[in-house]
Structure 1
Amino acid sequence: MRGRNVFMQSLVAHGVEHMFGNPGTTESPLIDSLADYPQINYVVALHEGVALGAASFYAQATGKTAIVNLHVAPGLGNALGMLYGALKANSPMIVTAGQQDTRMRLRDPLLGHDLAAMAAPVTKWSVQVERADELGPILRRAFKVANDPPCGPVFVALPIDVMEQETDVPPAAPDRLYRAARPDPEGVAEATRLILAARRPVMVLGDDIGRGGAAEAAVKLAERIGAAVWVEGLRHHASFPTAHRAFRGALPFDAAAIRTALDGVDLVLLAGGPFFEEVWFAPGSAIPEGAKVVQVEAAYPRLGYNFPLDAGLIGDPLAALKALQEVVAGTASADYAAGATARLAALDDLKQTEAAAQAARVKKSWDRTPMSMARAMAEIRAATPGDAVLVEETITANQDLARSFDFARPGDYLSGRGGGIGQGLAGAIGAKVANPHRPVLAISGDGSAMYSIQALWSAAHHDLAIVFVILANREYRVLKHNLDIYRQRFGVLSNKPYAHMDLGNPDLGFVEMAQGMGVAATRVTRGEALRGAVEAAFKSGKPHLIEALIEGKR
């Protein structure tokens, strides 16, 4: 059979249902083959970054290996920012790009370049198929590597002539790999000893807890030991129910601020993440002095990477947290159990105090024009169905969003990793493909939205009922905050304006842009109109964009 048939049949054998892409000439063998494989749905994007961002969120939402089809060197280059985000998010993906005919390699053909070298820095493995005999084995390995913990993207370059070569090497069947390792019993015993000796434990959870189905086990362990629970500052999933009394929120982005948030704790249990992704340098460790550190990870590279450990466990996050909870339950004294109950009661009081503070914040800013971020989030939350999936890229409105919405399960919330903007609108496409029967709400800042605005066309083209809410403050507000922080941290005395950080003159017209790509749109300028606009958008059953004008930096 021809190489292109091996490629397509390999995808079918591995259960691939969707391919995200932006086609080009060197992808002709793949695109021409799609008609023969109707079980694979091609989700087309107008920009390679949108295709890759959508695929990454699809992988996160489903746990399946996402397949992306890009176009030669410029197309791969267009997608590299999103590919970086997918790497940071640990999204299992196989990214392909068509390559020029290998017989022209020495002629420096149009659009030609070393694609494998381009992708290598932001993938787990990057390779070009040199002959059709390699296609089956390379794809088998690509699926394996993409899903070995920690998961991540793999890149495969597909020369057009190789896709048309004949081969006797068939597509490989998927491997049956059982990766859910159980933690070492001695390690569990030592970690339990440290936990039971602590009087103010805290848990910090990464995305692997949500991705690995371990959120419920994390709840049981937190309740058993009376631990406050924090999550990473940037996260893809809600790895712990946000309404739970033990949940404290997201940690900040420098070591000193993290250390302050954890002040007074005597044990830190890190589970399922890189810990920590900082933005600003601060001297010292993020771990408070004297606190013991226990870490649980599915793979060796993360374990003890940034912090010395008192106990480190390699194991499937679900199995490890279950084992800790069971051993603690079987060995904890009555005094320890009473202490855990008292800690949970104190956390409940703190939760109630913070809820009252947010209610007061919303009330205080309720009548502002343009509307406040706090009111915008309250109105959107009131109009959003309880079973909705929220795709979030609000950045400076993130705290108001977190205090307004409750996320009970990991699949209820999706956001981006790595810090690159534009992931929200693109990610909403993948989230809706993954959740065709659930309402999907995408909330994005206006600056972020412009990085992947072409996603609106894909939503219309594939009739994806997504409600897009663009928070339009007409500025890069986060950059203004960061400029203030830079000046403060580096002693820069300045009353200069925020140069090049405003998005006016002319104002961006998101309603007009959406309508030009086939998406119905509404502009909301006052808070009292936002709730009704969001409700109507959901009821329409069609993609709909709402441009909500909100206040800028005060």
Structure 2
Amino acid sequence: MAATNGAHLLLETARDLGVEICFANPGTTELTLVDALDSVPEIRPVLGLFEGVCTGAADGYSRVSGKTALTLLHLGPGFANGIANLHNARRARSSIINLIGDHATWHLPYDAPLTSDIESLARPVSQAVIRLADVATLSADVTHAVALAMSAPGSIVTLIVPTDIMDAPAAANRSPALAAREQYRIPSPDEIADRAKAIPADADVIFLLGGSGALHEGAIRAAGRVADKIGARLLMESYPRIVDLGGDLPRLERLAYFPQDVIAQLGDATIVLVGAKTPVSYFGYEGQPSQLVSDEKLVILAEDNECGATALELLYERLKERSSSPSSPPPSARIRSNDLTPDEIVEELIVQLPEGAIISLEGSTLGGPFLRESYRAARHRVMTNTGGAIGQGLPCAVGASLGAPGARIVSLQSDGSAQYTLQSLWTMARENLPIIIVMAANHRYGILQTELKRADADLSLPAIETLTRLDNPKTDWTALAQGYGVAAIRATNSQEFAAALKRGFSHDGPLLIQAELP
């Protein structure tokens, strides 16, 4: 139907440009957009009870589907509630357009209670911030926003939508055609030949894959051929946006977390970056370097906006085969136990994980063990917390499920970070999403305790206990999940966990497993 006002025109333009979903937590300034969504049924509205759920879900949806997601947020304070997960999404180079309602332009001078500087809030997590100023240019503004968000490797754009612009009459949808999506740049053979000159012919080489264009099947297989030809090792970034793993894919080591571990892992090898950034320390530690590989040991084969698979294939043609290749150590024999530990959880997940599953991973308790062993599982994909702002795992699982209908989603979640966006459970239940949440319930901030131990702190000191232990009282995750409408099971040993996981993979809808850890 023809647009009747600015809100209709905005949504119809977005629809015509391929947008299919809107994660929303609207308020009074967005009422016209809410009403218009009924007239544009091709854009699916998904309600989140907290803005951080909406922005995190948009991130997961974009990572999995490769499409652009809308969020609909209420003024500056509502947007501020979602900024943490937009920080993660920016690091993941997700394609998101935030629609932020604002007061009518004629009302702004009166400084009403919810008036704020939205531009300043949005700028740090947005490639562009566009305030809609006239219904006559609205369609062109939306088209520009979609083009920016879709341009490889993806970005966040924020549209500020005042109520008077949304209410303004619009006679017809005048959306211009969207220019062809900017694809990943294809490096030329001459460029790769020039970059390849810096790769030593007789020294250890490590290929570090990352970004948004080098961790998919094509690039990983090409990297495997290169590694076999010259005896190189393959690593992925510590926190990949989304990576294909398992099955018959070449094995990827995960780049270590702590700086001294990274330095030991990389040794004296030349590091070839394929879509990845230069390894740096996650935090600054006294006596440790911030940049963990010297410039003379770095080679950039492909930037994040370049096609990593093409770069690797062109490199393969130029490289001379070396006489020896390092062999991967065979998997060690694993003795199963009935004690419920992170290793047992991971082992059972590897046994049961179905082909095509997607893992939303947040937290070191299960994250490290899983990424260490994931190569033994069936083919799957893994999303991680790219920006370190916690509260990302559960909403990302929501978005992943909506972005990949039919896929089984597993959220490997730590109990401390889950508290930030536990409202995601309600959206999972409402949308009846096939998500298994494995809640690693150790009732503490594990990573913080690890960092404190590294600093030789005494974890038994009263203030440290107060700020790192979550066992007084212990969270009853099964009760919380059931309160939000999600089925839940408590597992205290590996046998109970195996049964719960089996039930989850056959369950119609979400299921939470509270895995009680020591």
Amino acid of the structure 1 residue aligned with 2:327:
L
Measured against aligned partners, the alpha-carbon deviations of 1:416-465 in whole angstroms (never above 9, x if no partner) come to 21011111111110010011111111110111111111111001111112
Matched, 1:248 2:215: no
Distance 1:164 1:110 in 2: 22
Deviation at 1:90, TM superposition (A): 0.8
Any idea what SS the aligned residue of 2:240 has? coil
Is the contact between residue 225 and residue 316 of structure 2 (CA under 8 Å) also seen in structure 1?
Answer: yes
Which of 272, 275, 278 is the equivalent residue of 1:272?
275
The 5 Å alignment of 1:121-132 reads: 121-132=124-135
Q: Report the TM-score, using the length of structure 1 for normalisation.
A: 0.86
Tell me which amino acid in the other structure corresponds to 1:520: A
| Distance verdict in 2 for CA 1:274–1:193, change over 3 Å | closer
- Superposition deviation, residue 34 in structure 1: 1.2
**One-letter amino acid matched to 1:64:** K
Which residue of structure 1 aligns with residue 181 of structure 2?
177
Do the aligned partners of residues 55 and 246 (structure 1) sit closer, same or farther apart at CA in structure 2, a change above 3 Å counting? Answer: closer
Q: d(CA) in 2 for partners of 1:443 and 1:493? A: 29
Is 1:319 aligned to 2:319, yes or no? no
Which of these residues, 235, 238, 254, is aligned with residue 233 of structure 1? 238
Equivalent residue for 1:207, pick from 192, 211, 226: 211
CA gap 1:277/1:464 in 2 versus in 1, 3 angstroms? farther
Q: 1:194 to 1:242 in 2, by over 3 A?
A: farther
Write the distance in 2 (CA, Å) between the matches of 1:139 and 1:401: 41
Take 1:98 and 1:322, find their aligned partners in 2: how far apart are those partners? 47
Aligned to 1:84: 87
**TM-aligned CA deviation for residue 240 of structure 1:** 6.1
1:439 paired residue among 405, 408, 416: 408
Note if contact 2:258-2:282 (Cα within 8 Å) is conserved in structure 1: yes
- Counterpart amino acid of residue 9 in structure 2: V
Cα distance in 2 for partners of 1:108, 1:243 equals 60
Amino acid at match of 1:172: P
Indicate yes or no: 2:470 matched with 1:470: no
Measured in 2, the distance between the counterparts of 1:540 and 1:410 equals 21
Q: Check whether the contact 1:263–1:288 (CA below 8 A) recurs between aligned residues.
A: no
CA–CA separation in structure 2 for the residues paired with 1:93 and 1:158: 16
User: Any idea what SS the aligned residue of 2:314 has?
Assistant: helix
Q: Which amino acid aligns with 2:141?
A: I
1:306 is aligned to none
Q: Is the 8 A contact 1:215 1:410 kept in 2?
A: no
Structure 1 residues 284, 458: closer, same or farther in 2, change over 3 A?
closer
Deviation for aligned residue 1:251: 2.8
Q: In terms of mean alpha carbon deviation, does 17-26 or 159-168 score higher?
A: 159-168
Residue 374 (1) aligns with residue 380 (2):
no
* CA separation of 1:161 and 1:57: change in aligned 2, threshold 3 A: same
The residue aligned with 1:257 is 261
- Residue 469 of structure 2 corresponds to 502
Note if 1:187 corresponds to 2:194: no
Give the structure 2 partner of residue 546 of structure 1.
Answer: 513
When residues 290 and 152 of structure 1 are mapped into structure 2, their CA distance, relative to the original with a 3 A threshold, is closer
Cα offsets for 1:358-407 (capped at 9, x unmatched): x55x65xx344xx2211122123323323321111132332211233338
Unaligned runs of 5+ in 2: none
Q: 1:166 to 1:244 in 2, by over 3 A?
A: closer
Q: 1:117 aligns with which of 111, 116, 120?
A: 120
* Residue in 2 that maps onto 1:155: 158
Q: Tell me if structure 2 keeps the 8 A contact 1:264–1:288.
A: no
The equivalences for 1:4-83 within 5 A come to: 4-83=7-86
Amino acid of the structure 2 residue aligned with 1:98: G
Per-residue CA deviations over 1:198-221 (Å, capped at 9, x if unaligned) read 432110011321269533322232
- The correspondence of residues 283-294 of structure 1 with structure 2, limited to 5 A, is 283=289, 285-287=291-293, 291=297, 293-294=299-300
Distance 1:373 1:284, change over 3 A: closer
Q: Is the 8 A contact 2:361 2:413 kept in 1?
A: yes
Which is richer in helix?
Answer: 1
Distance change in 2, residues 1:273/1:347 (3 Å): same
Change (3 A) 1:493 1:389: closer
Shift of 1:46: 0.5
Structure 1 Cα separation of the partners of residues 86 and 322 of structure 2:
48
- Counterpart residue identity of residue 97, structure 1: I
Matching residue of 1:384: 353
Percent of aligned pairs sharing the same letter: 27
Aligned pair in 2 of structure 1 residues 540, 179: CA closer, same or farther (>3 Å)?
closer
User: Structure 1 residues 11 and 5 mapped into 2: Cα distance closer, same or farther (>3 Å)?
Assistant: same
Q: How many Å apart are 1:228 and its aligned residue? A: 0.2
Give 1:9 deviation, angstroms. 1.1
Aligned partner (choices 306, 313, 328) of residue 348 of structure 1? 328
Q: Deviations over 1:73-107 (max 9, x none)?
A: 22111101111111111111111111111111111
CA contact under 8 A between 1:23 and 1:69: conserved in structure 2? yes
CA distance in 2, matches of 1:277, 1:123: 23
Task: Give, as a single letter, the amino acid of the residue that structure 2 aligns with 1:132.
Answer: V
Q: How many residues align?
A: 508
Task: Tell me how far apart the structure 2 counterparts of residues 30 and 117 of structure 1 sit (CA, whole Å).
Answer: 23
After superposing the two structures, state which structure 1 stretch, 178-187 or 404-413, moved more.
404-413
Residues 245-278 of structure 1: CA deviation (Å, up to 9, x unaligned)? 6533233342x4322211132x221011233352
Give the conservation status (yes or no) of the 8 Å contact 2:355–2:379: no
SS of 1:195 mapped into structure 2: coil
CA change 1:426–1:277 in 2 (3 A) is farther
8 A contact 2:281–2:292 mirrored in 1: no
Q: Which range moves more in the overlay, 394-403 or 86-95?
A: 394-403
CA contact (8 A) 2:358 2:408 kept: yes
SS in 1 for 2:436: strand
1:173 Cα offset (Å):
2.2
Alpha carbons of 1:379 and 1:116: their partners in 2 closer, same or farther (altered >3 Å)? same
1:374–1:400 Cα contact (<8 Å) kept: yes
Distance 1:124 1:279, change over 3 A: same
Worse-superposed segment, 240-249 or 131-140: 240-249
How far does residue 536 in structure 1 lie from its aligned partner after superposition?
Answer: 0.8
Q: Which amino acid aligns with 2:404?
A: N
Question: How much has 1:290 moved relative to structure 2?
Answer: 5.8
* Structure 1 residues 290 and 158: CA distance shift in structure 2, 3 A: closer
Q: Aligned to 2:224, what secondary structure does the other structure show?
A: helix
Work out whether residues 228 and 347 of structure 1, in 8 Å CA contact, stay in contact via their aligned partners in 2: no
Distance 1:177 1:398, change over 3 A: closer
TM-score normalized by the length of structure 2: 0.91
Which SS does the other structure have where 1:347 is aligned? Answer: coil
Q: Whole-Å Cα distance in 2 between the matches of residues 475 and 79 of structure 1? A: 25
- Report how far residue 127 of structure 1 moved: 2.1
Q: Does the CA-based 8 Å contact 1:524-1:530 persist in structure 2?
A: yes
Q: Distance in 2 between matches of 1:218 and 1:408?
A: 20
**What is the CA-CA distance between 1:28 and the residue it aligns to?**
0.7
* Matching residue of 2:108: 105
Match of 1:302 in 2: none
**CA deviation digits over 1:462-493, x for unaligned, max 9?**
111211111100111111001122x25xxx78
